[in-house]
């Protein structure tokens, strides 16, 4: 049974001081629900940090009530930065198994209410507390260590590492819902304020509030006219890895992302050459580079060179982070994977405006937790049957 995304909704990423989690959920999904003649049969909520950021648990029920969907089965999914990708995967499998015919998948996160110290603590929850919290190492510091290893092993300069934020911010500059709409040069990225050497502020995805949703339905619910305005989920696959990257045989190889992408491509019966664009997990510069290499879009150690060459630009061979990705659009952690899916939907229905990838028919979405602790990869295709 084929599963389609029929409608999407989202808020701008940024500061939403005056809105609660329930308010953001309502804002993101109101139009989707108003345009549907029937209510979704279930709700899957993706969120990573509500207990820390908003002192709020029980999100499934809270959001069902806020959306006036009391009585609808509602579930909350948590997988750190991959919460959104996990929620899409679970919802697709529930529909594919015949449990439901329609599911509203909603990703939401409020991060801006936290002070910087609590933000760092919250972001570190994706790592193994026996190591990270015991030794007091932040998630930024762990990514900095990985970046240093990557740069040393492959002779990558500090300025060359800046290639991925440059691409992301170029794309976010024309994205209405992006948190930051400003372009940067590689030199500006490399000279921005240090966070944990060699990473700079502009290497790291910003903290933001946001909510995004997608309505998933089975094929039987689609009319021929509506199919053209919908997007098919050809496949959705996941894989896990050794959580502590320093315990892996090859610290610069993202095995979870490699296996998830290989399974997703195989199940969708396509190759890398068929992919028209990639919505990439680019919360840190080296994560973007290593993800691209793990999926096979670049050879080992060459992702930054390829990004500098224009290979990943909107008019390049494999456009990435087409609305700015986590780096430019912003990174509301539990909602990030839903924003990626919404952006892929806009590309495949030719509603991406200034950010439109020409002739986009197939998109790959990659969403990970931690440092490739787990990875979810979806293959989405235009509903026209191409």
- pLDDT (tens digit per residue) in 293-318: 999 999 999 999 999 999 999 999 99
Kindly state the average pLDDT of the residues 348-372.
97
Q: Would you place residue 124 in the very low, low, confident or very high pLDDT band (cuts 50, 70, 90)?
A: low
Contacts 24+ apart (CB under 8 A), 136-141: 138/196, 139/370, 140/195, 140/196, 140/199, 140/204, 140/284, 141/196
* E strand or H helix at 217: strand 210-218
Q: How far apart are CA 4 and CA 309, in angstroms?
A: 35
pLDDT of residue 172: 98
Residue 326 lies in a domain: no
Over residues 73-81, mean pLDDT: 95
In angstroms, the CA 94 to CA 83 distance is 16
Q: What is the DSSP letter of 248?
A: S
Q: Rounded distance, CA 64 to CA 331, Å?
A: 24
Instruction: List, for residues 133-170, the tens digit of each pLDDT value.
Output: 666 788 899 999 999 999 999 999 999 999 999 999 99
SS3 of residue 213 by DSSP: strand
CB 260 within 8 A of CB 377: yes
Name the nearest CA neighbour of 212 among 19, 4, 47.
Answer: 47
Average pLDDT over the chain, rounded to an integer: 93
β-bridge pairing 42-46 and 74-77: parallel
More reliable by pLDDT, 56 or 114: 56
What does the pLDDT read at residue 128? 73
289 preceded by a cis bond (ω within 30 of 0): no
Judge whether 321 lies within some domain.
no
Does the structure show a pLDDT above 90 at 221?
no
Average pLDDT on 124-132 reads 70
Task: Say if 352 falls within a structural domain.
Answer: no
182 lies in some domain: no
Which residues are within 8 A (CB) of 59 and not within 5 positions of it... i.e. 6 or more apart? 21, 45, 47, 50, 76, 108
Taking 60 as the threshold, does the pLDDT of residue 185 lie above it?
Answer: yes
Rounded mean pLDDT, 45-56: 89
pTM attached to this predicted model: 0.95
Is 364 inside any structural domain? Answer: no
Cβ neighbours of 100 (radius 10 Å)? 18
Q: Is the pLDDT confidence value at 379 over 70?
A: yes
Residue 362 scores a pLDDT above 60? yes
DSSP 209: B
Provide the angle, in degrees to the nearest 10, between the axes of the packed helices 255-268 and 285-295.
50
Per the CB < 8 A criterion, the answer to whether 325 and 203 are in contact is: no
pLDDT at 385 over 60: no
Look at residue 360 and tell me whether its pLDDT is greater than 60: yes
Please state, for a pLDDT cut of 70, what percent of the chain lies above it: 95
- Asked if the structure places residue 191 within a domain, the reply is no
Q: What CATH number is associated with residue 59?
A: 3.40.47.10
In this structure, of 142-151, 176-185, 221-230, the range with the lowest mean pLDDT score is 221-230
- Residue 71 lies inside a defined structural domain of this protein: yes
Interstrand relation of 210-218 and 374-382 (parallel, antiparallel or unpaired): unpaired
Q: From residue 377, how far is each of 216, 267, 320 by CA, in Å?
A: 17, 11, 14
pLDDT at 122 over 70: no
Total structural domains within the chain: 1
What pLDDT was estimated at residue 386? 46
Buried b (16+ CB within 10 A) or exposed e, 119-150: beebbbbbbeeeebeeeebbbbbbbbbbbeeb
pLDDT at residue 361 above 70?
A: yes
Other C-beta atoms within 10 Å of 273: how many? 7
Residue 54 is predicted with a pLDDT of: 84
Instruction: Note down the domain range covering 54.
Output: 3-114+207-227
Which residue bears the tokens 């948190």? 179
7 - beta bridge partners?
A: 215
> Rounded to whole angstroms, how far apart are CA atoms 326 and 323?
9
* Chain segment 251-276, per-residue pLDDT in tens: 999 999 999 999 999 999 999 999 99
Residue 123: beta bridge partners?
A: none
Q: What percent of the chain has pLDDT over 90?
A: 83
pLDDT computed for residue 223 by the predictor: 76
Give the integer Cα–Cα distance in Å for 335 and 46: 6
Is residue 371, in this structure, part of any structural domain at all?
Answer: no
Q: In what order do the strands lie in the sheet with 362-369?
A: 74-77, 42-46, 102-109, 210-218, 3-10, 231-240, 374-382, 362-369, 277-279
């Amino acid at each position: 049974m084929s599963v389609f995304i029929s409608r999407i909704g989202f808020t701008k990423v940024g500061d939403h001081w005056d809105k609660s989690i329930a308010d953001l959920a309502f804002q993101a999904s109101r139009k989707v629900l108003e345009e549907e003649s029937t209510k979704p049969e279930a709700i899957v909520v993706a969120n990573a940090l509500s207990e820390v950021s908003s002192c709020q648990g029980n999100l499934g029920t809270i959001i069902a009530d806020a959306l006036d969907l009391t009585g609808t089965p509602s579930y909350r999914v948590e997988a750190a930065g991959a919460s959104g990708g996990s929620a899409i995967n679970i919802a697709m499998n529930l529909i594919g198994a015949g449990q439901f015919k329609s599911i509203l998948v909603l990703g939401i996160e409020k991060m801006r209410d936290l002070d910087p110290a609590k933000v760092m603590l919250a972001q570190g929850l994706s790592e193994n507390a026996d190591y990270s919290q015991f030794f007091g190492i932040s998630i930024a510091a762990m990514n900095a260590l990985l970046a240093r290893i990557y740069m040393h092993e492959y002779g990558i300069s500090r300025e060359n590492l800046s290639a991925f934020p440059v691409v992301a911010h170029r794309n976010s500059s024309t994205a209405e819902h992006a948190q930051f709409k400003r372009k940067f040069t590689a030199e500006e990225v490399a000279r921005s304020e240090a966070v944990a050497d060699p990473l700079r502020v502009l290497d790291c995805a910003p903290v933001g509030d946001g909510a995004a949703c997608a309505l998933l339905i089975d094929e039987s619910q689609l009319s021929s006219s509506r199919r053209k305005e919908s997007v098919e989920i050809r496949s959705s696959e996941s894989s896990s890895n050794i959580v502590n990257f320093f315990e892996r045989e090859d610290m610069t190889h993202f095995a979870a992302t490699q296996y998830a992408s290989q399974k997703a491509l195989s199940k969708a019966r396509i190759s890398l050459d068929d992919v028209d664009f990639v919505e990439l997990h680019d919360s840190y510069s080296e994560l973007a580079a290593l993800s691209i290499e793990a999926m096979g879009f670049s050879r080992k150690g060459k992702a930054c060179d390829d990004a500098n060459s224009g290979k990943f630009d909107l008019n390049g061979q494999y456009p990435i982070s087409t609305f700015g990705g986590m780096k430019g659009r912003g990174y509301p952690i539990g909602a990030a994977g839903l924003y990626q899916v919404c952006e892929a939907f806009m590309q495949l229905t030719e509603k991406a405006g200034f950010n439109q990838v020409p002739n986009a028919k197939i998109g790959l979405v990659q969403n990970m937790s931690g440092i490739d602790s787990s990875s979810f990869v979806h293959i989405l295709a235009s509903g026209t049957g191409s």
